[in-house]
Structure formats: C-alpha cells, structure tokens
Amino acid sequence: MSRLAIDVGGTFTDVVELNPETGALSFGKVPTTPDAPARGVMDAFGLAESGTPAITMFTHGTTLGLNALLTRTGARTAVIGTKGFRDVYLLGRTDRRTNYDITYRKPPALLERYDTFEVRERCRFDGSVHTPFDVDDARRVAEVVAERGYGSVAVAFLHSYANPEHELRMREVLAEVAPDVAVTLSHELSREYREYERTSTAVLDAYVKPIVHRYLRELEGELAGGGFSGRFLMTRSGGGAMTAQAAREQPVSLILSGPAGGVIGAAALSRLLDEPNLITIDMGGTSLDASLILDHEPVLYQGAEFEGLPINTPSLYIHTIGAGGGSIAWLDEADALQVGPQSAGAAPGPASYGRGGTAPTFTDAALVLGHLGSDSPLGGKLALDRELADKALQPIATRLGLTTEALARGIVQISTMKIMGAVRAITVELGRDPKDFALLSFGGGGGLVAVEVARELGISTVIVPPGQGAFSAFGMLLADVQHDFARTLVTPLATLDAAAADAVYREMEAAAVEQLASEGFGPDRRALTRTLDVRYQGQEHSVTVAFPDDPAAFATDVAAAFAELHERQYGHTMDDPVEVTTLRLRATGTVDKPELPTVAERTSGEPHPAGTRQVHLSADEPAVEYRVYTREDLLAGDVVAGPAVITEHTATSVIHAGDSLRVGRYGELVISVNDRTGRQQ
C-alpha cells in the first residue's frame, strides 16, 4: 500500500510516492499535458511502483483554475445581485494603488455590465428582511440567463452573510429555469461582511467552476477505471486539503493549490531541522513562488488577491512572479533584454528540449553557461540539446553584439534580480530583514539560482531539501483536510457577550463536525480551532488572534494578544478602543504524516565527483572547471567545496568558489554562502 501526491506545473508534472511501512520516498517527473490535463496526471500515476490499486490516498495540486484566470478562458459568467446594487462587482473599491504609473491599465475584467443582473429583494445587516424575495423577478432574470447561454452564475445578495435564505431561493429558481448553469452562492464561500469582496470571490469561483468540475469528473473516472479506490484530496490555497467532492463545489479554494504544497512541506522541514524562519523560493517551469515561514509556521492571510480581484477565503501568503525555467528572453522596444513573464511552457518548451521550441529561455541559458548539462537528463529521461539552445540564443546575441555565452549570463542575472525582487517584496517591504532567514530553495530551477540570490541579499545559509524538484508534491502528503468557517460580528470588545460568541462558535462547530464526519474523519481525527478578528475602532482591516481559553478573562486576554500581535506586525500600539469584527473556526481532519527518511552516514573516505563541467562565468573566466556530483551518491556528513554542480533526478544545484555544502541527516543540502571577498557570510 502507498500514498501518492501529484503536482501539475506549467512544464512538468511532479509525483512523489510514499511507502508508509518503510518510509521510503520516490520522486519522479512527467511532462505536463496542457491540452489534456488528466492525461498527464495518469502518466504520473504510471510511475507509482506499487500500482494504482494499491494507492490508499492520492493528494493533488493543480493550476488549472489559476491558468483559466490568467488566460481568461473560464466559463461565460453572469452575476446576480440585489436590485439597486447591480454594479457592486464592476465598481469595486475606489482606492488606487498605482498613483504614479502612467502606463497602468486595469487587468481585463472577467465579465461586462451586460452580464450583471439584479433581483428585487433585500436583507438588512442583522439578517432581517427589508424587501421580500420576488420570485417572479427572479424567474425573469433566470430566463434571460438561460436564453443567453451562460455557463455559470454567481449570486451575491446584500447581507446574505447574515441571512442566506434569498440566495438559496435564487438557486432553486435557477435550477428550475436554467438547470444546466453552474451556480455559486456567495454565502457558501464567505459568511463575512464586505459586499465587494464577497461578490468577487463568488465570481472567481463561478468563472472556473465548470472547468474544474469537468476536469475532476474526468480524472475521477480515469482513476476508477485504473482501479483506484482510495481517498482523493486536493490541496487548497489556505495550506490544507479538501476532498475532490468539496473542490468541485468550491474551486476558488484551489487557485493557489500547487504552490501551497511547497509551503506546507517547508513548514514541516522547518520544524524537523529546527530552522524557525525560512524564505522559500519555488522555481518551476513557468513561475517562481516566494513565501515565508515564521516560527515554524507559514504566514496565513484571511484574504488573497488575483490581479487586484479579492478572494475572501484564507490563503497562504505567496508572492508569484513570471520567472521559471521556461521564461522566454526577449528584447523590448529599446532593445533592452527582458526575461519573462512569457513562458515556453510544456509545449513546445525550451528550445533545448528538442520539441520544436525556438524561443530562448532561462533553461537554454543555463545549459549554454554549463549550469545544466546534456549528460544529466531532466527527470531521468529528457536530455538537453546544447546546440539547439545555442541556436535559440544566437539571434538576440547577434543583435546585441554579444556571444551566446555572454547573453546567457545576462539572462540568468536578470532572472536572479527578479527573484531578489520577489524576496524583497515579502521581507524588506514588510519590515523584515532577509539576513534573519535561511533560504529554502526547491522546484526544478531553484537550485540554479539560490546561492546567487542569497549572496546578493546577504543570506548566509541556503537549504536544498531532498527531492527538491518535486518538493511541492512532497508537501502535499503532509496536508490535513481543512474547512474554514466565519461569522461577521462587529461589536466593541468591552461589551462582547462571551456566551453569545460561544453560541455562534458552537453552531459553526456542529456544521464542521458534520462535514468532517461525512468525509470519514472520526472524533479522534478532528481538531477545531477558534480564532477571532480584532481591530482598533476606525481601522479598515483586522488581525486574527486565538480565542482565549478562560471565558472569565475573555476581554483582557483578547486585548493583550491583539496588542502583542499589532506591535509585531505594525510596530506600534494605540489607546483606541478595540472591537471584534469576525468569529472564525478552522476544522481539521488529520491524516497520517510521513516521516522523512534519514540517509546513511559515510564511514570512510569522501565523496567523489562523477565528472567535471566547464562553466562560463565571464569573458575573463569563460570556462571554469566545476566538479559534478550525483546527489544520490552523497551521504550524511559529506562536505563539498565549491565550485561544484550537484545533479539529481529532478533538479540541479550550483555552488561557486568559496561556497561549501554539507549533507544533513535527511539528505538536505546545507550551503554556507560566501560573500564577494571569499568569506562565508
């Protein structure tokens, strides 16, 4: 019996298999199949050593919903609101975040005003009915939706977080008049105030729902046909997992499901290695995702954004940029070299893949420099073609009057600077010093740039986890099933009735227990965690604190916890009155966690290189000899001095002169980075 995790990326689909009895982990890669995503997943299943029928749990992360949003290829979507509030979604907020950028243009909208409708009904903020639901008016709107052929509808009525009855009745009307249309109700995603944020979340969910629903149905059919009968989970943006059935109904929770796996794994590795504070960079084929681990825990936000559109569900704090192995190098109108965000993706992929690609990419540049080599096939199967890479770089090199090696160096340097910018965005711009962190690098391309990124930012330690190329998939094996519940309750902390709050929590807990029980989690596998959002009166946004254990000291304990957290996040506290805005509950269904296996220690001798590789550093150092080591041959305690290249089944890592590498107990590579004077930082 075994457990499997599969992460579908822009270029490769990563797979990790765990044998629970022995603790053995195996890592693999297959090409992503954008034209038929389920086929790539089934190809990954084919790498499972135990066979599909023996897999007891399958955890999956996908960027299908995210890609539909990026490419604007989701379902044709309508939004239905309260009469008089038709334009809530398109108006949004009136804040402007790009005051000084004259080139700024709002991203294309997911729908037009033609696609917005209103129904006569209205509830007040306390849930009382101001205007009864008009069934005839609702039927009129549903008939228009059916006639125009919409694939999906988002229903977001005023104050439905307090009283969802009208949204439920609207679904009944749509089911009768337009039965083929997928329906999203805003209150089922978010029971919180802020009409625009809740409407935006519903629209995003509706936009991707038909695509995700169709994909999961197809995949479940393929799995059943292959003999799979285990538990099927999907990772979610908030760092946990959800059943495939729940994912079909709330696909907005999957938008960051792929990157979330790596952050989950990073938090687990942080505890295992006793490294409380980590900056993570996950460089895949299409993008790079940066995140933080603070005190062994990932940073969780109660809301995320996609291109400025709010998603009012809990999400891990992940900063994504278009800097991956397939990022394309190009010249702008001023003949300045740029890299990304366009990507060669999986089809055709970088020129060096030999699959018809002609555009120069980061991977081609790394091959021309010698960081990658034709002697180390990607995923154990795909041998890179240096001649094709050189040919792809030649047109731009000629136009700039450079050698292909000099151009390749520029491409890698630009990518490194972009990655540094992503790290600064989650550290320096938020008041944190990168020097206080270790850098955890993973993904197929992370090891190629991690040391240079760390050196530029003054970070002294880089950690490369085992199976770095498929580490996000490994993190998915650790994901517990999670459900988040919330109820808006704006009231001064001093007058909040703890008993009344407890009653609201108990209502949410009853729903949570019922949900977890239906998914097969018994009492010993359930955990319910209460938190609440608190702010100073007059503030726009809140911070989340733990619900105190002692009801008698409720207000005092909450105020103290809020002051400590506000000081930590914003650097100050105030004497203003404090108020509660939202009661939250996280329900967790715990799964068995795999233990990362240890590697054997070397008892005699030292590691021997498998060969050498010529690496281009500059015009003055066009061919510096780097020793090449095979990671699978390294043992715990081994030390490798730079310059060196460490190849493995799923990725490659590069260290330079003055850097040194030590192999840890679990096979992790701990790299001490030197500064430019040759001293370790």
Q: Is the pLDDT reported for residue 24 higher than 90?
A: no
Instruction: Give me the pLDDT at residue 681, please.
Output: 55
Whole-number Cα distances in Å, 514 to 235, 240, 542: 21, 18, 29
Q: Using alpha carbons only, what angle is made at residue 594 by residues 590 and 596, rounded to the nearest 5 degrees? A: 145
**H/E element holding 309?**
strand 309-311
* pLDDT tens-digit map of 251-273: 998 887 778 889 999 999 999 99
| CA–centroid distance for 58 within its chain | 18
Q: How many CA atoms lie within 13 A of 85 on its CB side?
A: 20
* pLDDT tens-digit map of 215-238: 999 999 999 988 898 889 999 888
The token pair that represents 481 in the structure block = 């099933």
The token pair that represents 180 in the structure block = 């083929």
The pLDDT of 451-477, averaged and rounded, is 92
Q: Tell me the one-letter amino acid at 619.
A: A
Between CA 502 and CA 484 the distance in angstroms is 17
| Distance, first Cα to last Cα, the chain | 46
The token pair that represents 569 in the structure block = 């996040």
The pLDDT of 269-283, averaged and rounded, is 94
DSSP string covering 52-68, please?
Answer: GGGEEEEEEE--HHHHH
Q: Over the chain, what is the mean pLDDT?
A: 89
Percent of all residues in the chain with a pLDDT value above 90, rounded to a whole number: 55
| Confidence tier at 341 by pLDDT (50, 70, 90) | confident
Count the residues in the chain.
Answer: 681
Strands ordered across the beta sheet of 624-630: 611-615, 624-630, 644-647, 652-655
* pLDDT tens-digit map of 97-135: 777 888 877 777 899 999 999 999 999 999 999 999 999
DSSP-assigned beta bridge partners for residue 528 = 587
DSSP single-letter state for residue 285:
S
* pLDDT tens-digit map of 283-299: 988 888 999 999 998 88
Strands ordered across the beta sheet of 182-185: 116-119, 77-82, 152-156, 182-185
Between CA 52 and CA 54 the distance in angstroms is 5
Instruction: Return the number of other C-beta atoms located less than 10 Å from residue 174's C-beta.
Output: 22
Between CA 408 and CA 260 the distance in angstroms is 31
Could you tell me which of 187, 235, 186 has the C-alpha nearest to residue 62? 235
CB-based contacts of 46, cutoff 8 Å, min separation 6: 30
Q: Is the pLDDT reported for residue 676 higher than 70?
A: no
Between CA 373 and CA 353 the distance in angstroms is 12
| Confidence tier at 282 by pLDDT (50, 70, 90) | very high
| Confidence tier at 680 by pLDDT (50, 70, 90) | low
**H/E element holding 266?**
helix 257-273
| Confidence tier at 75 by pLDDT (50, 70, 90) | very high
Cis ω on the peptide bond leading into residue 643 (within 30° of 0)?
yes
| Confidence tier at 181 by pLDDT (50, 70, 90) | very high
Between CA 472 and CA 479 the distance in angstroms is 11
Q: Out of 17-26, 433-442, 511-520, 637-646, which region has the weakest mean confidence (pLDDT)?
A: 17-26
Instruction: Return the number of other C-beta atoms located less than 10 Å from residue 424's C-beta.
Output: 16
| CA–centroid distance for 53 within its chain | 29
Instruction: Give me the pLDDT at residue 48, please.
Output: 83
Q: Is the pLDDT reported for residue 389 higher than 80?
A: yes
Asked if 337 and 306 count as a contact pair (C-beta separation under 8 A), the reply is: no
Instruction: Give me the pLDDT at residue 226, please.
Output: 86
Whole-number Cα distances in Å, 196 to 87, 90, 255: 10, 9, 19
Instruction: Give me the pLDDT at residue 380, please.
Output: 63
Instruction: Give me the pLDDT at residue 148, please.
Output: 95
Residue carrying the six token digits 């034709």:
374
E-strand stretches of 24-89: 25-31, 55-61, 77-82
How far is it between the farthest Cα atoms of the chain? 84
For 477-553, where are the alpha helices, taking DSSP H only? 498-518
3-state secondary structure of 37: helix
Instruction: Give me the pLDDT at residue 638, please.
Output: 95
The pLDDT of 360-382, averaged and rounded, is 85
Q: Out of 1-15, 179-193, 356-370, which region has the weakest mean confidence (pLDDT)?
A: 1-15
3-state secondary structure of 569: helix
